[in-house]
C-alpha cells in the first residue's frame, strides 16, 4: 500500500478541514478509501505495523483502522501508544474472521474501540469511522480554542510548549526529526511609533495569516508574544528546515501591508537532533540563531551551530 505523499514544509495545504484516518492493512481497501473520501475524510495507508509508528507522527490521524492480520501488528502495544498520546487517538480493528461478542470483547480488552468483519460489515465500519473522526475533530476544535492567541488565532505559548515537547519526544522514541523556526518582525516598534499600535497589530495579524496559510496540518505555528513567532516543523530535518525558512522569509518580505509597505522578518533555525536533543535546547538554539540574524542586519535566516558548538557572542 502506498501512503499519500507528504507535503513539503511551507506549502499551502489544499483542504485543512478534512478528517484523517490511518489505515494499517496488507491490502488496499478501495471501497473503504473511496467511501470516506466522499465524506471529506482522507485515508493514509501503511502495509505493516512497524511502518505505522512512523506514519502516525507524520499524518497525525484522527483515527487508526487496522486489519487484525497485518504483518508486524501488535494490537495491545499500538492501542496503548495511541491512548497515551496527547491526542488520544482511537483504534478500530477489522478482519476476515466473523464478528462475535467474544471477538469484539477481546478487541476492546486489548484497547481497540470495536471490531468489524470485512467485507460483510464494511458499511458499519464506514459509519463508525465517520462518527469517531467527527468526534475527534470536535475535541480538537475545543482544545484549539483554549490554546489560541487572541490577536492572531495562532497557537499561544502554552500550546507551543506542548507541541515542542511532543515532537522532541517523537525524536527520542522513533528518531523522527523536527525543526524549529523562530521569527521576529523587523522594526515593529518603528511601525507602532509612526503609525500607531492598531497598524502594528494589523502587521502582526498579516504575518500570522501567512504562517497559517503555509503551515502543514502537523506543523505548529505560534505567536509567543509581541512581534515574536515560532514555526515548529514536524518530521523535517535541518536541511529542509533551512530551505523552508528561506522561502518563508521571501514570502513574508514580498507581501505589502496597507499603509505601511513591505515588512521583513528575521529567522533563526535549529533542528533536532542536529542542534539539540531536548525541547529546552532546541528552543535556546533557534532563539540564539534568531539573535544572530537580528544582530547581522535583520531580514535574513541564520542557522544554529552543530550541537557541540556555541553561537559566537551569544
At residue 1, the pLDDT reads 43
Looking at the structure, tell me whether residues 161 and 137 fall in a common domain. no
- For residue 67, what is the domain's CATH number? 3.40.50.2300
Last residue of a domain, one of 118, 146, 174: 146
At residue 258, the pLDDT reads 83
Q: Is residue 128 part of a domain?
A: yes
Looking at the structure, tell me whether residues 120 and 255 fall in a common domain. no
Looking at the structure, tell me whether residues 142 and 190 fall in a common domain. no
Structural domain of 40: 19-146
Residue 98 corresponds to which cell in the numbers above?
A: 466473523
- For residue 289, what is the domain's CATH number? 3.30.70.270
Q: Is residue 1 part of a domain?
A: no
At residue 88, the pLDDT reads 82
* Alpha helices by DSSP H, the chain: 30-38, 49-59, 75-84, 101-109, 122-146, 157-174, 188-195, 197-214, 238-253, 279-295
DSSP state of 4: P
Looking at the structure, tell me whether residues 140 and 161 fall in a common domain. no
Query: Strand 301-303 and strand 265-272: pairing?
Result: parallel
Looking at the structure, tell me whether residues 82 and 104 fall in a common domain. yes
Positions annotated as catalytic residues are: 227
Specify the pTM. 0.59
Number of helices (H), then strands (E), in the chain = 10, 12
Average pLDDT per run of 10 along the chain, which is 314 residues long?
46 61 86 91 85 79 90 82 80 93 92 93 95 91 82 92 94 94 95 92 94 91 95 96 96 88 95 96 97 95 84 49
Q: How far apart are CA 304 and CA 311, in angstroms?
A: 7
Distances 54 to 48, 177, 194, 254 between C-alpha atoms, Å: 11, 11, 50, 36
Amino acid at each position: 500500500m502506498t501512503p499519500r505523499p507528504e507535503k513539503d514544509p511551507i506549502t499551502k495545504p489544499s483542504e485543512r478541514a478534512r478528517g484523517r484516518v490511518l489505515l494499517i492493512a496488507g491490502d488496499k481497501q478501495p471501497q473503504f478509501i473511496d467511501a470516506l473520501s466522499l465524506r471529506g475524510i482522507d485515508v493514509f495507508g501503511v502495509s505493516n505495523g512497524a511502518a505505522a509508528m512512523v506514519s502516525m507522527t507524520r499524518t497525525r490521524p484522527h483515527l487508526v483502522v487496522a486489519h487484525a492480520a497485518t504483518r508486524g501488528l501488535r494490537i495491545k502495544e499500538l492501542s496503548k501508544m495511541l491512548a497515551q498520546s496527547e491526542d488520544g487517538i482511537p483504534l478500530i480493528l477489522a478482519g476476515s474472521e466473523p464478528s462475535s461478542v467474544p471477538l469484539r470483547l477481546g478487541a476492546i480488552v486489548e484497547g481497540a474501540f470495536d471490531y468489524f468483519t470485512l467485507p460483510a460489515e464494511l458499511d458499519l465500519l464506514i459509519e463508525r469511522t465517520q462518527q469517531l473522526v467527527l468526534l475527534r475533530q470536535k475535541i480538537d476544535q475545543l482544545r484549539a480554542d483554549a490554546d489560541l492567541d487572541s490577536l492572531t488565532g495562532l497557537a499561544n505559548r502554552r500550546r507551543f510548549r506542548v507541541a515542542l515537547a511532543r515532537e522532541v519526544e517523537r525524536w527520542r522514541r522513533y528518531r523522527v526529526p523536527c525543526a524549529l523556526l523562530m521569527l521576529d518582525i523587523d522594526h515593529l516598534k518603528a511601525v507602532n511609533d509612526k503609525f500607531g499600535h492598531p497598524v502594528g497589530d494589523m502587521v502582526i495579524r498579516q504575518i500570522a495569516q501567512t504562517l497559517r496559510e503555509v503551515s502543514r496540518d502537523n506543523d505548529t505555528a505560534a505567536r509567543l508574544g509581541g512581534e515574536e513567532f515560532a514555526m515548529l516543523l514536524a518530521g523535517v530535518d535541518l536541511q529542509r528546515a533551512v530551505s523552508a525558512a528561506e522561502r518563508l522569509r521571501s514570502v513574508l518580505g514580498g507581501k505589502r501591508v496597507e499603509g505601511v509597505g513591505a515588512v521583513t522578518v528575521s529567522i533563526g533555525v535549529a533542528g533536532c537532533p542536529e542542534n539539540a536533543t531536548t525541547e529546552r535546547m532546541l528552543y535556546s538554539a533557534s532563539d540564539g540563531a534568531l539573535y544572530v540574524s537580528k544582530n547581522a542586519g535583520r531580514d535574513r535566516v541564520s542557522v544554529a551551530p552543530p550541537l557541540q558548538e556555541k553561537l559566537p557572542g551569544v
